Copies of this chain bind each other. A is one copy, B any other.
Amino acid sequence: MRSARPRGAPPRGEAAPAGRRTDNVTGGRAGRRPVTSAAELERHALLIFEERGFEATTVDDVAAAAGIGRRTFFRYYASKNDVVWGEFDAHLETMRAALAATSPDVPVITALRRAILDFNTYPVAETDSHRRRMALILRTPALQAHSTLRYARWRAVVAEFVAARTGRDEGALEPQAVAWAFLGVAVAGYEEWLAHAGAELIPILDRALGLLVDGLDRSL
């Protein structure tokens, strides 16, 4: 089932109140105010994606549900794929900062292990939505593929830290290999989490990271 509405049909917003001269919503900035927000758009999108499936949902559908035009959708998100990633980039900056602020006394591997667990620690209230979001990403081929590009930024953060701490170039084999390896076991941890209904993410992730830290040979 596809959107019946043709490309340029009339969308309809929730008719937000828009009295003249400042609803003091604007920060004093000139220009028309955005009709929606990235977060609001994401909310609508995730609902439809879960309901109909990612592939079966068109950008038209999402835009219509959010009451905006298709063209406008692409001003909030560069692609349909990008909608599902939420605050990832901002969140990643937090991890970068945390790593940078780590005491040099803490071993590299330990620091990474902690940082990664922190990065993946969400308020309990968000557990369910986090789980649903990750299920979408990890089980939709198009999103799996796209995720590589997001993961690359994550790996860059890890590699940067390893490079700084071991006096190597960020592009060198060791930092990159470590970043790849940590990414890998973390994703494997996520898959394990998703495969088991009531499971807790953090212990699983810790176990996955432990496989690396303790050495694969000793873990098998």
**Which residues of A are interface residues toward B (Cβ below 8 A)?**
107-109, 141, 144-149, 152, 162, 165-166, 171-174, 176-181, 183-185, 187-189, 191-192, 195, 204, 207-208, 211-220
Residues of chain B with a CB closer than 8 A to A195's CB: 171
| Contact across chains for A220 and B149 when beta carbons are under 8 A apart | no
Residues of chain B with a CB closer than 8 A to A192's CB: 172-173, 176
CA distance A52 to B191 in the complex (A): 39
From the candidates B178, B179, B189, name the one contacting A220 in the complex (CB within 8 A).
B178
A109 and B216 contact, Cβ closer than 8 Å, known pairs A181-B184, A184-B183: yes
| Contact across chains for B220 and A162 when beta carbons are under 8 A apart | yes
Contacts beyond the supplied A173-B208, A176-B192: 19 A-B pairs with Cβ under 8 Å: A144-B148, A144-B149, A144-B152, A145-B146, A171-B195, A172-B192, A173-B188, A173-B211, A174-B211, A177-B184, A177-B185, A177-B211, A177-B212, A179-B184, A179-B188, A180-B188, A181-B212, A183-B184, A213-B216
CA distance A219 to B176 in the complex (A): 13
**Can you report 6 A-B residue pairs in the complex whose CB atoms are below 8 A from each other?**
A171-B195, A177-B185, A177-B189, A177-B211, A181-B184, A212-B216
Residues of chain B with a CB closer than 8 A to A188's CB: 173, 176-177, 179-180
